[in-house]
Structure 1
Amino acid sequence: MKSVSGIALTVLLAAAGMAQAQDFDLEALVAAAKAEPPTTVYAVTGKIVDTAEEFNAKYGLNVTGKKVNEAGQIDLLIREHEAGNVTGSVSLASDVAVIVTDLIGQGVVESWAPGDIAPHLAEGARDPLVVVSDPHVWAYNSELGETCPVSNVWQLVDPEWSHLVTMMDPLDKPMYADWFNQLGEHHDAAMAAAYEAHYGKPFEGNSATEAWVRAFANNGPLVADSSHVSDAIGAPGQAKPFFGMLSTAKFRDNEDKGYKLAICTGMQPFAGWLYPGLGVIAKDSPAPNTARLFIHYLLTAEGIAPQSVDGKVPGDPRIGLPAGEASGITAVLGEMMVWNTASSPSDLERRQDWQDLWMTELKR
């Protein structure tokens, strides 16, 4: 039962959320945007092109969607800021650690959440604003059976799985090195518990996560780009398919290519992790209202639909995922590691350490 003070606090927070929603005026934002020049939005997905066109059709504006990878977005945002010539007003799903630690901290970009939607977002997804999350899951080939052959990450360091596990390279995809850090900083006890569950004895050492990363790299995993990871796990007709980790967006290969990708549920300590797709606005944008309106659009079911169909989880939990989403991630969300953006400075500071460990220990 809540205390009187707890009830009062809940009422105050609810009232604050209502006031914030009442202060937000979508019609005024649209009107202000119409007075601004054309602008560009950057995202890691090519679907941003169609999203921008649909946004333009809805609001009568002129926004260009441009696919740019994580590192490219950071470079563009910094160079445009330093040159005083900002053309990219919105950045979506770039490098979380760099965005939070460097770009927001140095005033290159800012986070903004619309008042009518912010109260519905998870507390940790409001500042910085998480527009969408990209699930990276442990997956297997279901052609040989409906049950996942792995139930614990420590199995992946045993001889049985030597050279039979695949994922993207932490040296090319820093989010994977940051994932190691998130595990080590927030979930090392869970990694140690998984060790004891697998080996029947307590973990002895300073960091179960570091020990696992070292042993995993030593077991010869196949590192590749996302397409080759999907091929290695999901392609039909394999006598001994790979097990591995990939984004749920690749589960569209099940329909497009006849693949047999399936999420490994019941995995200790997690079935995967949710990488936050931050939506930030360039601080010196000549079209700040257009940028805010675009952020608002991405937080709606209509605006995020092109991504949610690929298993990207909308920031607003009221939206959910479409029934036809290929991976079935909705049923597994409770088993996923939730990313802690407050640890971004540590993720960035320790990124090179994790990459060095990986590079040193990796056996081909």
Structure 2
Amino acid sequence: MAALAMSTTPARTQAFDLDALVAAAKKEAPINIYDSTGKIVEMAENFTKKYGVQATGIKVSASAQLEMIVREGQAKNVKGDVVLITDAPAGLAQLLPQKFVESWLPPDMADKIPAKFQDPLAVTTNAAIWAYNTEVYDSCPVKNLWELTEPKWKGKVAFYDPLSKGTYPDWFNQTATHDDAKMKEAYKANFGKDLDVGEDSATAAWVKAFAGNSPLLADADDAISEAVGAPGQKEPFFGLMSSAKFRDNADKGYKLGLCENMLPWPGWTYVKLGLIATGTKSPNASKLFIRYILTEEGIAPQVKDGKLPTNPDIGLPADEPSGIGKVLDRLQQYDAATALEDWDARQDWQDLWRVSYKK
């Protein structure tokens, strides 16, 4: 992800003293951490207990984070010292170039974190996966992404509104850029004939057809999880959601199941960047928190939700509820090399969705 370098000194050549960083952090003001998951509250509390450095985790959606960071930076009144944001294209296109934030890789992690996740620093790879209701279906009722454009699934698919979450139009662009051939192959596997692409790509043809098939749009994964997994339904929705929502099976008695063999992928990934506000009054405490969440102890609350750390020494727990560990090699992988292109094309994909969608 080496699109924008934040330091001219290679991290692995810098001296690093963790004890000195902790000592410096203890002299600074408390920090706030923005993240789109509520697990950040627990993570900040654990950090404070471990180091005696006061930190508060605040759940903020990626889109709201972007707006808050820009406004705080312009006003030179930073409230969010550390930013964990899943909108990587926005980070690369807006936050880093305008120096609202900076990326810092702990020198002692330079030989652990893969190069593609170092600059800017990504702390986890997250996944959106296709799910069904196991109480109603013995196995996944959908085998191919193109089935969702057919009359059988009209109005029966729960889906995050691409107009309200940037990772979804980014997914469209990633697919068109890197995996359009697989979309064509999946079309032929489903319909028994080659796709006559009347759009710019097979991906665009799918987006147009799927949007026109009246999916149920939501502005939160919670609503999608409920529509798909709530027990007692006769005709539950099929849906795409964060792997983290599978904890609802234990917490709420839901019946979510992973579509392991869906073509061309059972889901897709995106990255979460770990950035520090350039105007923070607590740079050492912020750096200490970044390093903390690159450790197994620090990131544990999110790993339990199927979010894969970029530190390869940390694996998913055996009891992770979604079962995503079984399909990691089959997920569509986010390619940050074209993140800026995703940003530039985001409005075009949203426009295509807007004109194609039918309620």
What TM-score results when the alignment is normalised by the length of structure 2? Answer: 0.92
Match of 2:154 in 1: 162
**SS state at 1:24 partner:** coil
Pick which of 59-68 and 242-251 moved more: 59-68
- Using the TM superposition, give the Cα deviation of residue 196 of structure 1 relative to its aligned residue in structure 2, in angstroms: 1.6
Match of 2:288 in 1: 293
Instruction: Check 1:21–1:309 CA distance in 2 against 1; reply closer, same or farther (3 A cut).
Output: farther
Q: How does 1:170-181 map to 2 (within 5 A)?
A: 170-181=162-173
Q: How does 1:178-193 map to 2 (within 5 A)?
A: 178-193=170-185
Match of 1:333 in 2: 328
Unaligned runs of 5+ in 1: 1-15
Match of 1:210 in 2: 204
Q: How does 1:1-364 map to 2 (within 5 A)?
A: 20=12, 23-205=15-197, 206-224=200-218, 225-364=220-359
Distance 1:27 1:186 in 2: 44
Distance 2:281 2:216 in 1: 45
Instruction: Check 1:131–1:21 CA distance in 2 against 1; reply closer, same or farther (3 A cut).
Output: farther
TM-superposition CA deviations, 1:178-235 (whole Å, max 9, x none): 1111111111111111112212222232400000000001111111232221122112
- AA in 2 matched with 1:239: K
**Equivalent residues, number:** 348
- Tell me, yes or no, if the aligned pair for 1:91 and 1:281 is still in contact at 8 Å: yes
- Using the TM superposition, give the Cα deviation of residue 21 of structure 1 relative to its aligned residue in structure 2, in angstroms: 7.8
Distance 1:91 1:272 in 2: 25
Distance 2:54 2:227 in 1: 41
Unaligned runs of 5+ in 2: 1-8
TM-superposition CA deviations, 1:312-357 (whole Å, max 9, x none): 2222121111222111111111111111222222112111111111
Distance 1:207 1:105 in 2: 31
Instruction: Determine which structure has the larger helix proportion and give its number.
Output: 1
Distance 1:233 1:330 in 2: 21
**SS state at 1:286 partner:** coil
- AA in 1 matched with 2:162: P
Distance 2:339 2:208 in 1: 22
- Tell me, yes or no, if the aligned pair for 1:181 and 1:350 is still in contact at 8 Å: yes
Distance 2:230 2:270 in 1: 25
Pick which of 72-81 and 185-194 moved more: 72-81
**SS state at 1:64 partner:** strand
Percent identical: 50
Pick which of 185-194 and 197-206 moved more: 197-206
Distance 2:13 2:313 in 1: 16
- Using the TM superposition, give the Cα deviation of residue 123 of structure 1 relative to its aligned residue in structure 2, in angstroms: 2.8
- Tell me, yes or no, if the aligned pair for 1:21 and 1:116 is still in contact at 8 Å: no
Distance 1:31 1:83 in 2: 30
**SS state at 1:201 partner:** coil
Distance 2:143 2:167 in 1: 23
**SS state at 2:231 partner:** coil
- Tell me, yes or no, if the aligned pair for 1:22 and 1:115 is still in contact at 8 Å: yes
**SS state at 1:179 partner:** helix
- Using the TM superposition, give the Cα deviation of residue 32 of structure 1 relative to its aligned residue in structure 2, in angstroms: 2.2
Distance 1:160 1:21 in 2: 59
Match of 1:12 in 2: none
Runs of 4 or more off by more than 4 Å in structure 1? Answer: none
**SS state at 2:257 partner:** strand
